[in-house]
C-alpha cells in the first residue's frame, strides 16, 4: 500500500502546488490590471489638466482659430431661423422611429459612454493594449467635450426650437432641458467618439463612415427640432477638437516612450561599466 500512500501524497502535493500557482497567477493578473488602470487614470488626469489650461499657452495662430470659430458661430446664429425653416421639421421629437433614430442614438451620451466603457473593458480583459488605449481615449474625448457642453448649456440657457421662443432667447443659468439648446451635446459626443475611432483605425473608409455618422447625428438634431444649426456647429467643433487633442497627446506620449527606449544607458559593474545603446 506504500505506492497508494505515495500516490495520494503526490496528488495532494500537486493540488497544493496548483492552488499556490493559481493564487500567484491571480495576484499577478490583479496587479497587472491595477497597474494598467492606474496608468490610464494618470493619463486621463494629465490630458484633462493640459486641455482645460491650454488657452493659457495659446499661440497667435491658435487665438486666431478660436476667434474665427466664435465669429463663425455668431454669424450662424443670425441665420438660425432661416436655416431651421429649411431643415427643421415641426412636431418631431428626439426619437421618431425612423432613419434619424440611428445617428441620434449614436450621439446619445449614454450610448457613447457605454461604447467607451465596453471597449476599455474588452482591452483590459483581453490584455490588448491597443484596444484598452482606444477605450481610454474614447472616454477622455467624451469627458473633454462633455464638460464644457454642460457648463455652456447652463450658462447660456438657450431655448430649443420646439419651444417657439425663437433663436435669440437666452435665459441664462437654466437647468430646464427646454432651455439647454446651445451647444448640442449629441453632436459633441458623436464627433468626439468618431474622431478617436477614425484616427485610431486610420483607414479612409473608417473615416468616411465614422465622420459621416457623426455628421448625420448633427443633422438629425436640427431636423428633429431639438437644436438650432449653430448649436450643432459648436457641438461638432468641441467634439472634433477634443478627439484630435487626445489623439495628439497619445502620439506625444508614444514618442516620449520611444525616446526613453532609445536612450544610452551606462551601468556600473564589478569590473568597470557597461554601455547600452537602445535604438528601439
Beta pairing class for 272-277 and 264-269? antiparallel
Give 44's Cβ-side CA count (13 Å radius): 19
Q: Which residue has the higher pLDDT, 180 or 13?
A: 180
Q: What is the pLDDT of residue 32?
A: 81
Q: What is the pLDDT of residue 9?
A: 53
C-alpha cell at 137: 481615449
Distance CA 235, CA 247 (A): 19
How far, CA to CA in Å, does 96 sit from each of 102, 187, 221, 225? 10, 18, 12, 11
Per-residue pLDDT band for 36 (boundaries 50, 70, 90) equals very high
Distance CA 106, CA 37 (A): 26
- Reference 84, options 162, 172, 188; nearest CA is 162
Q: What is the pLDDT of residue 272?
A: 46
CB 262 within 8 A of CB 280: yes
- Residue 20 predicted with pLDDT over 50: no
CATH of 31-277, one of 1.20.120, 1.20.144, 3.40.30, 2.60.40: 1.20.144
Q: What is the pLDDT of residue 255?
A: 82
C-alpha cell at 148: 464644457
Which residue in this structure is represented by grid cell 422611429? Answer: 97
Q: Which residue has the higher pLDDT, 9 or 18?
A: 9
Q: What is the pLDDT of residue 258?
A: 58
Q: What is the pLDDT of residue 254?
A: 86
Give 221's Cβ-side CA count (13 Å radius): 31
Per-residue pLDDT band for 180 (boundaries 50, 70, 90) equals very high
- Over residues 252-265, the pLDDT tens digits come to 998 876 555 544 44
**Three-state SS across 136-203?**
HHHHHHHHHHHHHHHHHHHHHCECCHHHCCCCCCECCCCCCHHHCCCCCHHHHHHHHHHHHHHHHHCC
- Over residues 43-88, the pLDDT tens digits come to 999 999 999 999 999 999 999 999 999 999 999 999 999 999 999 9
Q: Is 189 exposed, middle or buried (0-12, 13-18, 19+ CB in 10 A)?
A: buried
Cis ω on the peptide bond leading into residue 40 (within 30° of 0)? no
* Interval 96-114 mean pLDDT: 97
The set of long-range contacts for 89-92, using a CB threshold of 8 Å and a minimum separation of 24, is 89/223, 89/224, 89/225, 90/162, 90/225, 91/225, 92/223, 92/224, 92/225
- Residue 7 predicted with pLDDT over 50: no
Amino acid at each position: 500500500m506504500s505506492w497508494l500512500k505515495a500516490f495520494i501524497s503526490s496528488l495532494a502535493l500537486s493540488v497544493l502546488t496548483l492552488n499556490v500557482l493559481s493564487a500567484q497567477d491571480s495576484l499577478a493578473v490583479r496587479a497587472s490590471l491595477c497597474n494598467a488602470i492606474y496608468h490610464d487614470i494618470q493619463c486621463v488626469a494629465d490630458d484633462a489638466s493640459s486641455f482645460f489650461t491650454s488657452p493659457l499657452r495659446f499661440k497667435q495662430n491658435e487665438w486666431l482659430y478660436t476667434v474665427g470659430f466664435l465669429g463663425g458661430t455668431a454669424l450662424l446664429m443670425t441665420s438660425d431661423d432661416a436655416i431651421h425653416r429649411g431643415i427643421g421639421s415641426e412636431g418631431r421629437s428626439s426619437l421618431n422611429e425612423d432613419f434619424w433614430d440611428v445617428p441620434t442614438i449614436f450621439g446619445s451620451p449614454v450610448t457613447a459612454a457605454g461604447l467607451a466603457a465596453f471597449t476599455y473593458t474588452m482591452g483590459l480583459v483581453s490584455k490588448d493594449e491597443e484596444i484598452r488605449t482606444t477605450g481610454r481615449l474614447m472616454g477622455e474625448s467624451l469627458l473633454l467635450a462633455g464638460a464644457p457642453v454642460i457648463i455652456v448649456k447652463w450658462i447660456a440657457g438657450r431655448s430649443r426650437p420646439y419651444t417657439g421662443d425663437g433663436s435669440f432667447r437666452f435665459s441664462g443659468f437654466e437647468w430646464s432641458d427646454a432651455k439647454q439648446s446651445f451647444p448640442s451635446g449629441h453632436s459633441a459626443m458623436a464627433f468626439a467618439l468618431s474622431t478617436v475611432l477614425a484616427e485610431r483605425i486610420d483607414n479612409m473608409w473608417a473615416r468616411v463612415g465614422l465622420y459621416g455618422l457623426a455628421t448625420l447625428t448633427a443633422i438629425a438634431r436640427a431636423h428633429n427640432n431639438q437644436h438650432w444649426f449653430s448649436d450643432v456647429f459648436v457641438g461638432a467643433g468641441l467634439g472634433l477638437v477634443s478627439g484630435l487633442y487626445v489623439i495628439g497627446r497619445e502620439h506625444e506620449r508614444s514618442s516620449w516612450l520611444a525616446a526613453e527606449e532609445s536612450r544610452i544607458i551606462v551601468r556600473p559593474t564589478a569590473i568597470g561599466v557597461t554601455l547600452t545603446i537602445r535604438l528601439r
